[in-house]
Structure 1
Amino acid sequence: MTAETKSFRQVRSNDRTLTKSSVTELLVVLLKSMLLLSHVCTARPDREDDSHKYKVLRLHFKIDDDINIIRQLKVTHNLDPWQEVRRVNSTGDYLVSPQNVDEVEKQLKNNHIHYNILIDDAERFVKENDPMRFRRRKKRSTSAHDYRNKFLTYTELRHFLRDVKNTATNANVEMESIGRSFEGRPTPYVKISSLNDKKPKGTIFIDGGIHGREWISPALTVEIIHRLAFNTENDTAVDTLLSMFNWLIVPLVNPDGYAHTFTPGLENRMWRKSRSTSYSNDPNCFGVDLNRNFGYHWNNSPSHGGSSNPCSGTFSGPRSFSEPESHNLRNILLGNNDTIKGYLSFHSFGQFFLYPWGYSSDVDIEDEDDLVHVAAAFSKAMMAKNYDYNVGGSAKVLYPAAGGSDDYVRGTVGVKYSYTVELPPHETSRYGFLLPESLVSSVVSDTWDGLKAFALRLYKHLNTKGERQDVLKDEGQAVREANNQKLVEFKPTNVHNFNNGPGNANVHNLNNRPGHGNVHNFNNRPGHANGNSYTTSIGSNRDNINSTAYKIKRPKLEPMPVSYLVESIWTSRPLWLSRPRNPTYSRVETSISDVINTLFKTRKIMVG
């Protein structure tokens, strides 16, 4: 053991008793390592080498053969669909792993399938949009109000629900569990009812988080619960909603999959399924797609949107309700089937309001005009907020997917008004499942307005009889015909445009390029109310948070302990490897003065 090693270990064993001589010896080590550290921090060869990049490709389909080729590539090269292709002359977005990128691009070129790279480095994109990176983790607050407008961890979500139960002021809130997940996590739900009105009433049942990676879904359920339980906005509609319905909400159906998505790494962040381990000898194959596991026309064939391959992202399971998560949800649905009047399962992404049937596009559903008319109340309210939602049958508007929860609720539980809602961003957005946390507030607040309109229209349908009911059906038929025409034309306007192409008039523009016309503010520009510190060089009156020229004001960082810094330099490792629990230190540009200041616990680590 060298003298330098002894002095290093002596210093590291007691960070608080640094003497003048030991500091001098330590600085010798630091100086010798500085060039190496600088190289490690600035070279970042993985950012330059395409062989280490996950990419998201947007494919443009012109003929049926194109679609068949992509379906084959999905199997042979493990493409992860963000948005499946639905028809000729449309697009589909697919995440491609580093080991398959070259071959997939080669196949696309050989078959003359046009594509563009939507996200060049998906792992970097995840890190840049990671909420843990931009939010300092403080000691848990006892206030339920502090959990809104964030992507909560599983533990934080449970704390929120407990706080709501104990402190709700505007409603009665009961909290229980529907059961435990495969890994043993409790799956809580809340029942919310009016403080004063004890008369029997119907229930609106809401669930979220069936797919782990769809973070905006549980975030929305948090907003709904908070609005009903506290009504801090003094919204007069809240008491009306509580007088009309009881509310039963399961914020997170798939706690294992959701918790796994908070593990560092792109593959973990993109996890969709549950985490069961019983169906494959391959140690890398886990879980079941819970929204292919419900027992109404369950089918695990690819033609029905599922898979019998345990390694597939749409693995339907060996049988219906094979998973404790889907089994638990089934039990609470059946236990309340006499009171449930409306069912909403929130997913992401794409901005669709879907009703059954999902198992086949060849089967029409009864009372479709009623279903469309109730759904149209939501889509109209969202259009007023500049979100364009498509309304229709799941298999017809999207693609066949047997084993979905909405089919089961309609077909077996017997709830007429059963829907799946694909939340923002829009299907053409480059954000996909990676909606930035800075946009959560706008999305959940605006969606709350849509939910209010939905509930009021549903109540009207449930309590209208005779000639007036015929009028509602006629209105629903007109809406359905208009919506079908819109789907044929496929020219959305006046939408929240999260794209990376030019925006249209009157849009929320969150693009990579300048928008046009009356562009709305997402509270992300300095100088606007509640604006975060995003600035662009694109020009005035345009909100373009993903532009090619932007500066982000970084949050203040916690002081880094001396031992982490010394360990990093001594072992020639970048700082973010020495401190895995704080991804904020994702890129460090340091100097001798920074090192010395950090030794004395100042807050001067600079993040680029």
Structure 2
Amino acid sequence: MRFFYTVCAVACASLTLSAPTQRKSYAGTKVYRIPTGNQEQTDQIANMITTLGVPTWKSAKVAFSHVDVEVSKDRLKAFHDALKQISPQLDSQLITMHDDLSVSIAKETEGMYNPFRDAFAGFANAAWFNNYHTYADHLTFLNDLASTFPNNAKVVTGGTSYEGRPITGINIFGSSGSGTKPAIIFHGTVHAREWITTMVTEHVAYSLLSNYTTSTTIKSYVDKYDFYIFPVVNPDGFVYTQTTERLWRKNRQPPPSGTCYGRDINRNWPWKWDVAGGAAAGDSPENKGLAAFINAKANSAAGAKLYVDWHSYGLYFMGPYGYSCSANAADKTEHTTLEQGFAAAFKAPYGKTLKTGPICSTIYQVSGGSVDYAYDVSKIKYSFTPELRGGSSGSGFVLPPAEILPSGIEAYEGVKYLLANMV
């Protein structure tokens, strides 16, 4: 985690307080996967990345793993020279994830502004999952869901962003009506660049609603729980990725001082917080609204049963804790069973294997994280976070549209396992 924060500090040092006015160009930018050897070499690679200030897509916690980095064309020579100094073999072992990131982004978004490749206006249908969409179209889709399935869905709001956008979600409910059953809460796109989580959470919502009248099993789940699915909990950052900087991660809240623009919403929850998560614990408007919504459901008569914070990428399904690798959740045994069951169900359609376990010991330490907050503060017994697929060809955050539907299908299988096995 120190590695992540150091890279963040280097990146932030080059920013100004004013937001860029032009779309960032990724022309000639390459994304590489660096295989890591022993711990000494892993540390050398981490130091090299910090020195060069290249953005990290995926960091290595332990030896004999890999690091994914984004290298702009003006830093390519320095990057390759530095890598060869660590080991001449390393440079030849690089895996190219994106040979030209701008080309990959163009392919990712080619259907986004084409109405002939979109879902039919006013009616939610499966064609939606053929390509990615603008933020405005996502809001329309949620409203279309509520209009298409008026007896089982309505649009809800879980707070307001720094720039004043509502954090919009869909409430899915059964025959007893809204607000009468234990809550299940899903968050997507807390990190703005993780577009696949927007589509996956919407796919879960669409699948539950479209199968309610045809599947007795799905009907039993929807009748048993109240679902609150928020596909984009970081709307400002999400819009920014679509208009200005595709790989932006945080919200768009300016700092009180310094040059590190934005808050990482998943480091800002007011529990086991660290200074890297903002100026103060829970100081982002997004966190304030989301925490209030979660706690209102958790403290209601019906309570809250499940919280899932969807992320990409890396293929993980994890539970508490993130803040400590030595602390154990009181429900760890049950969490382990559910994590492994989710992973088995997730694997069934396409063979994707998930690593499971507590966040800290499985991937890295996370302070001020949502899962720990939901579990310890909101007392939601089942609190998890997946890291979805990064593409069969190693696409990472810039996942081709062809992988949207498979991502949704495998995630939905995992969700159905949880719904069938939570007690």
Q: For the superposition of Structure 1 and Structure 2, which TM-score range results when normalised by the shorter chain?
A: 0.7 to 0.9
Q: Which residue of 2 aligns with 1:335?
A: 296
Query: Which ranges in structure 1 are unaligned for 5 or more consecutive residues?
Result: 1-50, 301-306, 308-315, 463-608
What corresponds to 1:251 in structure 2?
231
Please name the residue that 2:340 is paired with: 376
Q: List aligned pairs for 1:315-394, cutoff 5 A.
A: 316-338=277-299, 339-385=303-349, 386-394=351-359
- SS of structure 2 residue aligned to 1:343: strand
* Cα distance change of structure 1 residues 365 and 82 upon mapping to structure 2, 3 Å threshold: same
1:70 deviation in Å?
3.0
CA gap 1:134/1:163 in 2 versus in 1, 3 angstroms? closer
* Amino acid paired to 1:100: R
Describe the superposition over 1:271-309 as per-residue Cα deviations: whole angstroms up to 9, x where unpaired: 111111234554xx5211111111211113xxxxxx4xx
Aligned to 1:129: 108
Tell me the amino acid that sits aligned with residue 128 of structure 1. K
Partner of 2:72: 97
* 1:433-478 deviation line (CA, Å, top 9, x unaligned): 11111221222123212211111111xxx2xxxxxxxxxxxxxxxx
CA distance in 1, matches of 2:393, 2:262: 28
Q: Displacement of 1:133 after TM fit?
A: 6.6
Q: Cα offset for 1:270?
A: 0.8
Hey, what's the Cα distance between the residues in 1 that align with 2:158 and 2:54?
34
Superposition pairs of residues 342-491 of structure 1, within 5 angstroms: 342-385=306-349, 386-425=351-390, 429-458=393-422, 462=423
Secondary structure at 1:57's aligned position in 2?
strand
Between the aligned partners of 2:66 and 2:393, the Cα distance in structure 1 is 12
Q: Secondary structure at the match of 1:92?
A: strand
Indicate conservation of the 8 Å contact 2:193/2:397, yes or no: yes
Distance 1:201 1:101 in 2: 55
> Is structure 2 residue 144 aligned with structure 1 residue 163?
yes
Question: Deviation of residue 199 (structure 1)?
Answer: 9.7
**Structure 1's 262 and 71: CA in aligned 2 closer, same or farther, altered over 3 A?**
same
Between stretches 158-167 and 339-348, larger displacement belongs to 158-167
Q: Please tell me the residue identity of whatever aligns with 2:305.
A: K
1:298–1:111 CA distance, 2 compared to 1 (3 A): same
SS in 1 for 2:310: strand
Secondary structure of 1:177 counterpart: strand
CA distance in structure 2 between the partners assigned to 1:403 and 1:132 by the alignment: 36
**Do 1:149 and 1:444's aligned partners in 2 also have CA atoms closer than 8 Å?**
no
- AA of the residue aligned to 1:254: N
Q: 1:423 to 1:124 in 2, by over 3 A?
A: same
> 1:91/1:411 Cα in 2 relative to 1: closer, same or farther (>3 Å)?
same
What's the CA shift for 1:124?
2.1
User: For 2:194 and 2:117, how far apart are their aligned partners in 1?
Assistant: 25
Tell whether the 8 Å contact from 1:78 to 1:96 is kept in structure 2 after alignment.
no
1:138 offset after TM fit, Å?
7.8
SS at match of 1:221: helix
- Displacement after TM superposition at 1:200 (Å): 4.2
Q: What is the CA distance between 1:149 and its match in structure 2?
A: 4.2
Structure number with greater Rg is 1
- The alpha carbon displacement at 1:394 in A equals 0.7
What displacement does 1:203 show? Answer: 1.6
Question: In 2, Cα distance between the equivalents of 1:446 and 1:399?
Answer: 24
Task: Indicate the SS of the match to 2:372.
Answer: helix
Q: CA separation in 1, counterparts of 2:160 and 2:363?
A: 31
Q: 2 CA distance for matches of 1:279 and 1:66?
A: 38
The change in CA–CA distance for 1:122 and 1:279 in structure 2 (over 3 A counts) is farther
Match of 2:46 in 1: 71
1:43-78: CA deviations, max 9, x gaps? xxxxxxxx9621212112212222322333343322
Matched letter for residue 381 of structure 2: K
Secondary structure of residue in 1 paired with 2:308: strand
Say if 1:73 and 1:79, in contact at 8 Å, map to a contact too: no
* Residue 274 of structure 1: aligned partner: 251
Q: Distance in 1 between matches of 2:283 and 2:101?
A: 33
Q: How many residues align?
A: 388
SS in 1 for 2:406: helix
Q: What letter corresponds to residue 341 of structure 1 in structure 2?
A: K
Amino acid at match of 1:361: C
**TM-score for both structures, normalised by structure 1:** 0.60
1: CA distance between counterparts of 2:90 and 2:35?
Answer: 5
Question: Within 1, Cα distance between the matches of 2:405 and 2:287?
Answer: 29
Residues 27 and 102, structure 2, Cα contact 8 Å, conserved in 1 = no
Q: Deviations over 1:410-449 (max 9, x none)?
A: 12111121000111136x8521111111221222123212
Identity of matched residues, %: 27
Match status 1:174 vs 2:193 = no
Contact 1:355 1:394 in 2 (8 A): yes
**Cα distance, 1:400 vs structure 2:** 0.9
The structure-2 alpha-carbon separation of the partners of 1:135 and 1:233, relative to structure 1 and needing over 3 Å to count, comes to farther
Match of 2:133 among 152, 155, 163: 152
- Alpha-carbon RMSD: 2.4
The question of whether the paired residues in 1 share the 8 Å contact of 2:162 and 2:236 is answered with: yes
**8 Å contact kept, 1:210–1:253:** yes
Deviations 1:250-281 (A, max 9, x none): 121000111111126xxx11111111123455
Question: C-alpha offsets along residues 375-432 of structure 1, whole Å, 9 cap, x if unaligned?
Answer: 2221111222212111111111111121111111112111121000111136x85211
TM-score normalized by the length of structure 2? 0.85
Q: What amino acid does structure 2 have at the position aligned with 1:160?
A: F
Q: Which residue of 1 aligns with 2:8?
A: none
Tell me the distance in 2 between the aligned counterparts of 1:223 and 1:430: 22
Q: Which runs of 5+ in 2 are unaligned?
A: 1-25
What's the offset of the Cα at 1:136?
A: 4.4
Q: In the aligned structure 1, how far is the partner of 2:60 from the partner of 2:313?
A: 14
Change (3 A) 1:80 1:334: same
Tell me the distance in 2 between the aligned counterparts of 1:78 and 1:137.
Answer: 41
- 1:80 is displaced (CA, Å) by 2.0
Deviations 1:535-575 (A, max 9, x none): xxxxxxxxxxxxxxxxxxxxxxxxxxxxxxxxxxxxxxxxx
* Equivalent residue number for residue 16 of structure 2: none
